[in-house]
Copies of this chain bind each other. A is one copy, B any other.
Amino acid sequence: MTKARVEAFSDGVIAIAITLLVLDIHVPEPGSAASLAHELAKQWPSYAAYVVSFLTIGIIWINHTAMLRRLNTVDHSIMFLNLLLLMSIAVLPFTTALMAAYLKASGGENLAAAIYGGSLLVMGLAFFTMNRHLLQARVGLLRDHLTPELRRAVLRRNAAGLVPYALATLCAIVSPYLTLAICGAVAVFYALPATTGDTPPEAPLD
């Protein structure tokens, strides 16, 4: 079934993007003057950016399973919107590395943070666009009947999730630390049991 391949391909791209993040954490050169502890401590922005991006991609993956769970089947338009969503996810190892490299820099740090926040915002927008397409233009492909009210509620919650990323992008003017902190807070918030969207957190899925 084509829907199964869309899921498998998406799982593949998202799994690779989330795992490639580790390639940006570098092993300090042995034999440098500074101690290893000092060298490792110095690159804390890499760890912070790693954790925030890992959790964020993980949560978008969880949301992706929920979005596709509602579908019986897919069509070409859905496959293409999904491809755009995957592109917005696949680019995150770059924006994460940029954020990590410039967080403590004096010069470029605001731009790097704006690009990082902006890349998460674009990912959120790609998700919202696909979700809205499914819930408004492809109602006939949904597995269960969802009332218009319920569908609007799902989209409203989805749209509300874009606000903190927009805020994080704007706050890059003030401080790159603030951008990273907001993105991290969003990840923690969505990880909390009570905030997972349209199924109660303890409900078995499927």
Q: Which of A3-46 contact B (CB under 8 A)?
A: 3, 5-9, 11-23, 25, 27-28, 30-31, 35-37, 40
Does A177 make an interface contact (CB < 8 A)? Answer: no
The 10 closest A-B pairs by CB, nearest first: A36-B108, A12-B15, A2-B205, A16-B19, A58-B83, A73-B204, A30-B105, A76-B201, A76-B196, A8-B11
Set of chain B residues within 8 Å of A193, measured between Cβ atoms: 76-77
Segment at the interface with B among A61-69, A124-132, A146-154, A162-170: A61-69
Point out the residue from B1, B7, B18 that lies within 8 Å of A8, measured CB to CB.
B7
Contact A37-B111, Cβ < 8 Å, known A8-B8, A73-B204, A204-B75: yes
Whether B16 contacts A15 by the Cβ 8 Å rule is yes
Whether B65 contacts A2 by the Cβ 8 Å rule is yes
Using a CB–CB cutoff of 8 Å, the interface residues on chain A facing chain B are 1-3, 5-9, 11-23, 25, 27-28, 30-31, 35-37, 40, 50-51, 54-55, 58-59, 61-62, 65, 69, 72-77, 79-80, 83, 86-87, 90-91, 93-94, 97-98, 101-102, 105, 107-108, 111-112, 115, 140-141, 191, 193, 196, 199, 201-206
